[in-house]
Amino acid sequence: MEDFYWDTYPCYLMFWLLTIRRHEKFVTNICELPHNKKIMISCGGDGFLKLWDYRSGKEVSSIKLSNNIPENDIARFTKHLQSCDLDENVTEIPVKHLRATKLNETDSILAISLYYSNNILMYKVCETTQNQFNITYINAFDIEDEPLDFIFYKTNLWILTNQGLNIYETQGNISQNDKLNCLLMKVNNSWKKLRSNVNEQSLFPILYKRKYDNVQEYQDRKKSRLTKISET
């Protein structure tokens, strides 16, 4: 892999700064648009998918993801934040993974997963003759567990979960590729045993505000001072 230096490609540094600034919350994914490498895709915690011309720093298209997210998924994510003592009024679920594949010379397909959701959202990016970009929601499909990762290979989407690896056909109606999945049964059984010994960690305490009981903290400090005084 070629070494990457910011001073050699200052336009990339400018793009990163503009992208982070124009998203209202943290950015979790940035990638190239497969059929046009001059366009970058970004998404994160603010519920928007955005397209950018990284040379000019101009936003060329965007779409709100939450219009296609079930409300119970948002409720599940909010409950998790509360369990981490995080004080955040959440209306959007942050994007966990963004993957893209080239469909033809003017179109690309995007697959998006969200934290604490079993949904995979599918979008199509179309480039017009006027160099405009339209993002269209295609559909969404449920899988058995929240994806750990996934990748496009040709027209198939390979999805890894705690239960193992499953392959889905994305052309036409989305469905499992039973022929290939049958070959993965032994691998998946070994994978389940491996995952059973893994401890899950949450990164959200870094990304969201944590609740603090300032009164209790003050009382604890006061009690500590009084204890020290009484000991002297």
With a cut of 50, say whether residue 201 has pLDDT above it.
yes
Sign of CA pseudo-dihedral 211, 88, 72, 151? negative
With a cut of 90, say whether residue 22 has pLDDT above it.
no
With a cut of 60, say whether residue 193 has pLDDT above it.
yes
Percent of the chain residues topping a pLDDT of 90: 44
Q: What is the mean pLDDT of the chain?
A: 81
With a cut of 80, say whether residue 93 has pLDDT above it.
yes
Lowest-confidence region among 44-58, 63-77, 153-167, 196-210: 196-210
Contact 12, 2 (CB under 8 A): no
Using pLDDT thresholds of 50, 70 and 90, give the confidence band for residue 58: confident
pLDDT reported for residue 209: 58
Domain residue limits, the chain:
10-142+201-231
- CA angle, 120 as apex, 116 and 80 as ends, to 5°? 5
**Over the stretch 118-150, which tens digit does the pLDDT of each residue have?**
999 999 999 987 779 999 999 999 998 999 999
pLDDT reported for residue 215: 47
Q: Which residues contact 197 (CB under 8 A, 6 or more apart)?
A: none
Percent of the chain residues topping a pLDDT of 70: 77
The model's pTM is 0.77
Q: Which residues pair with 26 in a beta bridge?
A: none
pLDDT reported for residue 152: 96
pLDDT reported for residue 168: 95
With a cut of 70, say whether residue 37 has pLDDT above it.
yes
With a cut of 70, say whether residue 217 has pLDDT above it.
no
Name the more confident of 111 and 196: 111
Name the more confident of 58 and 14: 58
SS (H, E, C) the chain: CCCCCCCCCHHHHHHHHHHHHHCCCCEEEEEEECCEEEEEEEEECCCEEEEEECCCCEEEEEEEHHHHCCHHHHHHHHHHHHHCCECCCCCCCCEEEEEEEECCCCEEEEEEEECCCCEEEEEEEEECCCCCEEEEEEEEEECCCCCCEEEEECCEEEEEECCEEEEEECCCCCEECHHHHHHCHHHHHHHHHHHCCCCCCCCHHHHCCECCCHHHHHHHHHHHHHHHHHHC
Contact 82, 89 (CB under 8 A): no
Tokens of 229: 């005084």
pLDDT reported for residue 98: 97
pLDDT reported for residue 26: 82
pLDDT reported for residue 4: 42
Using pLDDT thresholds of 50, 70 and 90, give the confidence band for residue 11: low
Tokens of 7: 């001073």
- Residue closest to 106 by CA, chosen among 87, 125, 85: 125
With a cut of 90, say whether residue 14 has pLDDT above it.
no
Q: Is 106 exposed, middle or buried (0-12, 13-18, 19+ CB in 10 A)?
A: middle
